[in-house]
Structure 1
């Protein structure tokens, strides 16, 4: 039984597809404009000396560039008292490992940072089989300063997330984001960009593929189909 869609002749389908193509081209051109505006954003010098725990010992934010001039840092939701990493963050970073070689050879370092201790991060990374660098911001102001980690006191009032003040009762103690940094030849680090919430969607190739499948994302609530990749049933499922 086919879904509730019109079934038409190839000629009629081609006409409808061309109309959609015009919209897709508009989106492509808009994306080009947004990318240009993103590159043109002013930068902010990072004044604070952030230090992270890594498998290679203590490292500063400047050290995390690993010899490159650009750093993309994903704020992964894994708190000090969490039993496991966020399901949605895990879905997103499943897409990282294949991109590493391409980014690294294009002067970009990609890492994740969480507020959990390094031992907890490494245990979860081992479970999930990931290779991308992942550091601990535990005990530092880093995730708080970038508005992705909140104390119980902060959650009792107002917090800023996605550049907007929201009620803390609507937030978790950890939230996701992506921040970009540039390191000058003299070692000065600049914060160039951050994005949060649905601004992270385009990092998730699976969603982009689903958007082109016959049923789209086929979800009741946002990403209700997502599981950690070791928690799916072995048999493929047909969704209504």
Structure 2
């Protein structure tokens, strides 16, 4: 791929260990070489030779330049590793995921486990994990029981009485179908909670052996 300086400006620059060196600000040219000018941490400029670039990629999710060497890892005193350790969801969630050709794939959602297979990383094709706000029925019940009603059964019985519902109902059916309309009719504040909203986004799965490095970002061992 061919890119102009303008197209690469603003790209995140990632070293071979997955650590972010900074953001590309410009190119510097001499008679003998081309250099990448990177705005690093705390605004400090880092100048890297052009031949240190392994791959560069520009997609709708962003621009990335992947380096051949562990420049940032060395600067931070971090020893390179052959393969990344296993991590749980809390360690990698919302980390940027980059494939072997510097393409930004998305962000890590979670890690899932199997008894017979290596862990699997789920990656959503987005700039950050998409969430949606939904009404939290369980929290509302906790707010009402026992402060307003002695038991959950007493609460659900009152719901049916107020809504003039007759017959036999399972507790789960009352919670699912009648509790929220009843709460709205009574002006009761319904708490909200955040849940993953992956329906409108592409989700990819990556087996742990396909992960090359984990630093500030996750680098895959193959192109996606």
Shorter-normalised TM range: under 0.3
TM (norm. structure 1) is 0.17
TM (norm. structure 2) is 0.18
Larger Rg: 2
Q: Which has the higher helix share?
A: 1
